[in-house]
Structure 1
Amino acid sequence: MSSYRPKNSSRISPEAERLVSDALSLAASGSRVEDIFWETKLLDRLLRLLHAQNQNAIESALDQTLKINPIAFDSLAENAETLAESLTLEQDGKSWDVVLIAIPIIARTRYSIPSGKLSSESIAATGNLLHDQIVAQDALIALVPWLYSIDQMPHSHCQTRLLLEKLASAAVNAGEIKLELRDMPETIPVLADPRYIVGAVAAPSGGPIFRWQEDTPRRQERSVCLQNWQTGMQDTVAAIMPGCEFELSLPEAYFTNCREADRKIRPLSILAAVNYLESMLNVEPAGLSCIIAGFGDEQCDEYRISFALKGSKEILYGVVWPLYDRETVANDSINDISIEDSPIREIYDTIKNSGVEDQLRHAELFSLEMCEDCGVPMFVDRAGEIVHAEMPDDTPSQQPLFH
């Protein structure tokens, strides 16, 4: 959805080859004039692929450019996201710039985090506050009446573009949002997870879209907009997410906000897991053990953190810490906490700050195994065996069991 990780592909299509060629040419450009030439070709080709729903060609090109030239990869990835989340719409002789926005709600709970249909009152309150504190004075808004989980968000550039086009039309025409929301995928229950309200903001072309772009006296800095947004949305979000602690981020462009939410939720997932186990098992954090292991096919794509009672080999619970974009870990450094700003160091510090002192870090890379019966991730125990996380049979049943 929001972050790109390379995939192994055996062949590359002609469409993908041409994308790679344009991206490499743009990266090698020596002037702004030449930049514009290659960028125009790249955008035209990307737009044709988006309209054709040819996501495979885009992903293949991203794979190849990441291997060949990181600068070309950055350019291709940025332009693909730009076309997926923004467009210019002509309507009745007037031109509108439209951007898809994500409104993240970073939540954690001991119960369950809601998702699904939003009431008209919640959408109206959200839209009114957006007009008052976030978007430019002449901007128009369309909001999907749905509280999205990660599992329900668009998972490709092509899907994102389709959603943008529908919302852009609804915003500019003040029309009904025509989306099929009844067959949304089920939300996987976890203790800490982002939720999103998704919408489109349309503004007259060339003018400001957000309030921090406007001239005085209406202009407000992002920090002021964020503070006013957090204060104004407190009651609305508390009503739609009972039993949850939450943090609100500034409404922004779709891909940027999804990435930031993905990153913010990772340490909260560990803290929520410790709080859950503390409550369910009546055990202090010091009575827990953590086993950390890297998972992936050829490189580390994610860490999985297993929880057990100290002195026990049984894995009770697990948390996944995915790696995003260029967060790469060398296979011989998977468990090396001496590297500052590395994912494993952040995981180590987060666990330590939660009160869990007993940590074991495996040095080997494990395969990305999932449970064949229920589809949840499998975790590693202290002995290096991949197992299913299982809470004790006598765990109170009034709260849901999370994996």
Structure 2
Amino acid sequence: MAVHRTKASQRTSPDLEKLVADAISLAASGSQIEDRFWEERLNTRLMRLLKSQNQNAIDAALDQTFRINTIAFEVLADSAETLAESLVMEHEGKSWDVLLLALPIVAHTRYQIPSGPLSVSAIESTALALQGAIASTDARLAIIPWLYSIDQMPHSHCQTRLLTEALATAAITEGEIKIELRDMTETIAVLADPRFIIAVLAAPSGMPLFRWQAEPPTRIERGMSLIGWKTAMQDTVASLLPGCEFDLLLPESYFTNCRLADKQVRPLSMRAAANFLESTLGVLPAGLSCVVGAFGEEQADEYRISFSLKGSSEIVYGVIWPLYDRETVTNDALNDLSEDESPIKKICDALHEAGVEDIFRHAMLFDPELCDDCGAPLFPDRSGEAVHAELPDDAPTQQPLFH
């Protein structure tokens, strides 16, 4: 959802070529008046594709711009996300601005992170917290009665647009949310993962959506809104996630918060893995060794981190550190620690903070292999092989899968 990487080339079409050309033209624009011209052209084409549920064309355009013009890619990606997560709706002669929100909870545990239906009381307390700390006084809201894992979220711009429209109608009319929550994808058990409550805010067009947009005395700065949100939601989230440590992020736009939550959970995955192996195998983090390798078909899409006991070549656990659009790593810098913001530097820092000191970094790009039998990701060992991560035979049998 939040990750975009180039795929195999697809046959071009006139619509695809025009979409790419408009994105390149907007990226090259030198004035706001020209910006508006190209934005209108680009948004019109994108809306046509969203309404026809033609996600393949949007993905193909993103792939092409990603390869040939990174600035145009950013422009196109931002435009597609904006149209998917926001809209203007007319109701009873009045215009409403609508924004889809993700309310992230970044959690880690030694057990399992719950997901699933939200109780009426949880929905009511979430609505009160939103109204008290986040939403403007004129805003209406609708909240989906489900605590989402990332694999249950909408995975395309077209799906997200449909969800935004359904929630917008419910919020503005103050009616029932008409979406299907049965047959949800099964949640994969991992030690550190975000959970999300999805909501929509709607306000009369031109009026503030958020408290920090309002004029005094109702204005609340973002930092104070976050404090108020965390305080108001503490007991509710604690009851939703028993046995978990968690942090709440500021409710914001859907795509931005999905990426932010995914990024914030990555270092937690290292600490959760070290804690899990300590409680399961009785080995302190200082007694662990890690091997880090980049995986992808043509460029790094993710890093995979293998955990083993010091002095042993057997991989007992693995963690995946996904990369996002603004984190592209060249193949000659896969294990370069000289750049503070490089993924490999952040990975090593997170491992050190978790107490792991013995870290081996591969400079090669691995194929993103999965186990043929069970579909689990394979992880690098020191010799450069991608292998299955397996706990010792005498370890407890009911364990979470790999993050």
TM over 0.5: yes
Aligned counterpart, 2:76: 76
CA separation in 2, counterparts of 1:71 and 1:387? 38
Q: Tell me the equivalent position of 2:289.
A: 289
Change (3 A) 1:235 1:284: same
Counterpart for residue 347 of structure 1: 347
* 1:363 shift after superposition: 1.4
Unaligned regions of 5+ residues in structure 1, if any? none
Aligned residue for 1:98, secondary structure, equals: strand
Report what 2:190 is aligned to: 190
CA 1:29/1:134 → structure 2, altered by over 3 Å: closer, same or farther?
same
- Structure 1 runs, 4 residues or longer, greater than 4 Å off: none
> What is the one-letter code of the residue matched to 1:147?
L
The residue identity in structure 2 corresponding to 1:82 is T
Task: Name the amino acid aligned to 2:71.
Answer: I
SS of residue matched to 2:355: coil
Query: What is the CA distance between 1:142 and its match in structure 2?
Result: 0.4
2-side partners of 1:13 and 1:304: how far apart? 37
Question: Are 2:238 and 1:245 equivalent residues in the alignment?
Answer: no
Q: Aligned partners of 1:311 and 1:3: how far apart in 2?
A: 36
CA RMSD of aligned residues (A): 1.1
Cα offset, 1:4, TM superposition: 2.5
Q: Which moved more, 1:37-46 or 1:334-343?
A: 334-343
- Taking the aligned partners of 1:28 and 1:343, their CA distance within structure 2 comes to 29
Matches within 5 A, 1:4-153: 4-153=4-153
| CA positional deviation for 1:67 | 2.2
Q: Partner amino acid for 1:79?
A: S
Per-residue CA shift, 1:128-174, capped at 9, x if unaligned? 11011100001111000000001000111111001101100111111
Deviation of residue 11 (structure 1)? Answer: 2.3
Deviations 1:88-142 (A, max 9, x none): 0000111100000000000000000000111011011001110111000011110
Structure 1: distance between partners of 2:214 and 2:376? 47
Amino acid at match of 1:273: A
- The residue that corresponds to 1:401 in the other structure is 400
User: Quick check: 1:112–1:400 contact (8 Å CA) kept in 2?
Assistant: no
Deviations 1:299-339 (A, max 9, x none): 11100000001111111100000000121112122112222
Range 260-269 or range 55-64, more displaced: 55-64
Q: Secondary structure at the match of 1:333?
A: coil
SS in 2 for 1:298: coil
Could you tell me whether the CA contact under 8 Å between 1:108 and 1:244 is conserved in 2?
yes
Q: Is 2:112–2:400's contact at 8 Å kept on the other side of the alignment?
A: no
Following TM superposition, by how much is the alpha carbon of 1:373 offset from its aligned partner in structure 2, in angstroms? 2.6
2:255 is aligned with 1:255: yes
Letter of the structure 2 residue corresponding to residue 384 of structure 1: G
Q: Is the 8 A contact 1:295 1:368 kept in 2?
A: yes
Q: Contact 1:369–1:377 (CA<8 Å) still a contact in 2?
A: yes
Residue 228 of structure 2 corresponds to residue 219 of structure 1: no
SS of 1:340's equivalent in the other structure is coil
2 CA distance for matches of 1:168 and 1:373? 44
Unmatched runs of 5 consecutive residues or more in structure 2: none
State the number of aligned residues: 402
Matches within 5 A, 1:172-183: 172-183=172-183
Check conservation: 1:27, 1:72, Cα contact below 8 A.
Answer: yes
Amino acid at match of 2:305: I
AA of the residue aligned to 1:15: D
**Counterpart in the other structure of 1:383:** 383
- Could you tell me how far apart the structure 2 residues matched to 1:295 and 1:314 are? 20
**How far apart, in 1, do the equivalents of 2:28 and 2:335 lie?**
37
Paired AA for residue 12 in structure 1: T
Q: What does the per-residue CA deviation read over 1:230-257, in whole Å, with 9 as the maximum and x for residues that have no partner? A: 1110000000100000000110110111
Letter in 1 for 2:247: E
CA contact (8 A) 1:50 1:161 kept: yes
What corresponds to 1:333 in structure 2? 333
SS for the counterpart of 1:96 is strand
Deviates more, 1:291-300 or 1:365-374: 365-374
Structure 1 residues 71, 330: closer, same or farther in 2, change over 3 A? closer
Please name the residue that 1:368 is paired with: 368
The answer to whether the 8 A contact 2:144-2:197 is kept is yes
- Contact residue 103 and residue 196 of structure 1 kept, 8 A: yes
Superposition deviation, residue 77 in structure 1: 1.1
Overall identity of the aligned pairs, in %: 63
Q: Distance in 1 between matches of 2:97 and 2:182?
A: 30
Query: CA offsets, 1:54-105, max 9 Å, x none?
Result: 1111111112222222222221111111100000000011110000000000
Whichever residue aligns with residue 224 of structure 2, its letter is: V
Moved more, 14-23 or 267-276: 14-23
CA contact (8 A) 1:12 1:61 kept: no
Secondary structure at 2:326's aligned position in 1? coil
Q: What is the TM-score normalised by the length of structure 1?
A: 0.98
Moved more, 40-49 or 9-18: 9-18
Change (3 A) 1:232 1:344: same
Distance 1:70 1:356 in 2: 36
User: Contact 1:23–1:75 (CA<8 Å) still a contact in 2?
Assistant: yes
Question: Which residue identity does 1:19 align to in structure 2?
Answer: L
The Cα of 1:25 is off from its aligned counterpart by 1.8
Q: 2: CA distance between counterparts of 1:257 and 1:401?
A: 25
Secondary structure in structure 2 of the residue aligned to 1:148: strand
